[in-house]
Amino acid sequence: MLYNKIFLLLASVHCQLTFAAYQLVQDYSGDAFYKGFDFFTDADPTDGLVQFKSLEEANSTGLAGFIDAGNSSFAIFMGVDTKEVAPQGRASVRVASTQTFQHALVIADISHMPGGVCGSWPAFWMVGADWPSNGEIDIVEGVNAQAANSMTLHTGQGAVVSDGKDFTGELVTPNCDINAPNQPMNAGCSIGDTSNLTFGSEFNNAGGGVFATEWTSDFIKIWFFPRGSLPENVASGSPAPSDSWGTPNSLFQGKFNIDDHFRDLQIVFDTTFCGQVSSLHPAFHLNYTNHSPVGRHRLE
């Protein structure tokens, strides 16, 4: 994926009845990204057919780097091996922020992501060390040639979201518990976006856009703003949720305490292949992932 900017802001003062005021606590733009994220090189916890590479390996093989090394605000990219046959798993990148966060407004400006490739599973998410007790927020996620973004929470028992009219997506599964009855294993509470501009090929064709995630004690909201349709305060670099942001693409809220289920989360970016999600998506094809070089397949 190619990232133009990634901001993380924490709430400082809550305005009465309406919106929170935020102050910038971390800017991951440019070279700050690689200084603020660790490269994960262990076996994929989601059982993907993948080999995650170190910073040094990823940089030397063109899987991670910068788009314009002569500009202090240059974008970063992370990708996968698109050339070699990979029977032991395709080379890729998974990174996690060195810091953890409790409540935040996370802004990510993304220009390109994997899309339309059989077996692929790219994601931008937040997760706690004690999973699922500390929670997981999937901000961007999709598999294969999925057309629109999936936004999902994963928790232990006791978190069920309401299907209200305060978001533009469609509620797919309401129970965030990874072992919830009457839902596929680890489905979580998931809201599917209704716009093809939010994921994969159509996202890329439109030049990407900005994802904004607001996490408070009361709710978790996710917005997507297409390129050229950014709210003024986002475009100016001073993002703050307001009426100008419109209805969020997803709103996770219900008769449960957010803070009981989401604590001290890291930001994670990765692209894996097949793995545990394949049980939910039978169209995955292991042979394709093992042996077929793929096209442009990176997050930028």
Angstrom CA distances, 295 to 63, 90, 172, 199, 298, stand at 14, 13, 30, 17, 9
Which residues, listed in sequence order, are joined to residue 94 by a DSSP beta bridge? 270
Do the Cβ atoms of 299 and 93 come closer than 8 Å?
no
Helical segments of 108-265, H only: 200-205, 232-235, 258-261
Question: Given 56, 57, 84, 136, which residue is catalytic?
Answer: 136
Residue type at 87 in one-letter notation = P
- Structure tokens, 138: 């999937």
Kindly give, in sequence order, each residue whose CB lies less than 8 Å from that of residue 172, ignoring residues fewer than 6 positions away.
150, 187, 190, 191, 192
Do the Cβ atoms of 148 and 193 come closer than 8 Å?
yes
**Distance from the first to the final alpha carbon of the chain:** 3
Q: In whole angstroms, give the CA distance from residue 115 to residue 104.
A: 28
Do the Cβ atoms of 261 and 156 come closer than 8 Å?
yes
**How many residues are present in the chain?**
300
Question: Given 56, 57, 84, 141, which residue is catalytic?
Answer: 141
Torsion angle (degrees, nearest 10) of CA 58, 32, 105, 150 = -10
Angstrom CA distances, 18 to 92, 235, 240, stand at 42, 22, 12
Query: Is position 170 annotated as part of the catalytic site?
Result: no
Q: Return the CA Rg of the chain.
A: 18
- Helices (H) and strands (E) counted in the chain, each on its own, are 6, 19
Q: In whole angstroms, give the CA distance from residue 250 to residue 161.
A: 11
Residues annotated catalytic, as ranges: 136, 141
